[in-house]
Amino acid sequence: MNNSKEILDDKKYNKLIVILSIAIPVVVAILFGVKIDAELPVFLPPIYAGINAATALVLVLAFMAIRNKKIKLHERLMKFAIILSVAFLAMYVAYHMTSDSTQFGGKGAIKYMYYFILLTHILLSIIVIPFVLITYVRAITNNIEKHKKIARITFPLWLYVAVTGVIVYIMISPYYI
């Protein structure tokens, strides 16, 4: 059962959640328009695809941990998943600020499948931001019942974004120059 302190704790984060949920996609979109004439020391797409794969694995492990009532392990894994997602985003933006976008070269049905996966990946990667933030806030404010409720939505969304990030990389990787 919720008490008024938990509700107040949740509410004090709402403004920050709204700001971050809007600012992150807007800043990423703006940075996509910024081109830096620099060559990165490594080719980032396989690295950030690997981070997406690691995020998916960590999310599944965290799900298993909570199912087995290993709360501290679940907590640590979820914090790690957030760190991985932030690292992915930083590398993704750095790559696109220093490199031209690669065009998908597939034809026919595979092209439509690629663009469907890419579009849903991008849209859900924006939509999942407030879900992750709200889920996290409800955990740290000990609003566990509400945390569980939204986590049931957040988990599959976030997992889809992580897995489709890897699929998009695999599908476009033959076309990198």
Domain positions in the chain: 4-175
Which pLDDT band, with edges at 50, 70 and 90, does 100 fall under? Answer: confident
Is-contact 103 175, C-beta < 8 A? yes
What's the pLDDT tens digit per position in 110-164? Answer: 999 999 999 999 999 999 999 999 999 999 999 999 999 999 999 999 999 999 9
With 60 as the cut, is the pLDDT of residue 3 above it?
A: no
For 77-100, what is the mean pLDDT?
94
CA distances from 4 to 9, 10, 57, 142 (A): 9, 10, 36, 12
Q: What is the pLDDT of residue 128?
A: 98
Question: Over pLDDT 90: what percentage of the chain?
Answer: 81
Q: What is the pLDDT of residue 1?
A: 44
Q: What is the pLDDT of residue 41?
A: 84
Nearest partner of 62 among 53, 51, 70, 52, judged by Cα: 70
- For tokens 């704790």, name the residue: 9
Looking at the structure, give the CATH architecture of the domain made up of residues 4-175. Answer: Up-down Bundle (1.20)
